[in-house]
Amino acid sequence: MKGVKVGVYIPADIYEEILEFSSKGEKTSLSRLVQESLRTYIYMNQPLREGNAVGTINVVYNHEKKNIDSQLTDLQHEFLEIVVSTLHIHLDEKTCMLNITVKGEGKRISEFINKLRMLKGVLLVNPTLFKIKE
């Protein structure tokens, strides 16, 4: 297959950042940037289908979004068997980051990551996970 042309919605703030990035010497086309970003996303987020894993999940979110803090806490409690610890970091007046350490069944960690991504107000979920040799 040669390629498939698709339409993608990009929020204005992200598009502005891309333009600024491109104006500072990075002369990558938008198509190439999206392709590389998707490859990175797929590589970094491959589901852990078998075995156990350990690592961290960074979650950047808008804490001004109604109930987001309690939703994040409730979700961590729902996955208590894999959540080891959490560090809350204030990035600015309205943006926070959680650094969640996880350890356990890969399938369960993948499920947790998917649920984090579905929360309105979550801007970025970036896992760094390693399979544990058994």
Residue 40 sits in the same domain as residue 58:
no
pLDDT at 50: 73
Residue 63 sits in the same domain as residue 108:
yes
In order along the chain (134 residues), what is the average pLDDT of each group of 10 residues? Answer: 85 86 74 82 66 93 96 98 97 97 94 96 92 76
Residue 77 sits in the same domain as residue 106:
yes
Pairs from 41-49 (Cβ < 8 Å, separation ≥ 24): 44/126, 44/127, 44/128, 45/113, 45/127, 47/106, 47/107, 47/110, 48/106, 48/107, 48/109, 48/110, 48/129, 48/131, 49/106, 49/107, 49/110
Count Cα atoms within 13 angstroms, Cβ side, for 31. Answer: 5
Range of the domain at 78: 52-132
Q: What is the CATH number of the domain that holds 106?
A: 3.30.70.1150
pTM over 0.75: no
pLDDT at 30: 81
The SS3 of residue 100 is strand
- Is 28 inside a domain boundary? yes
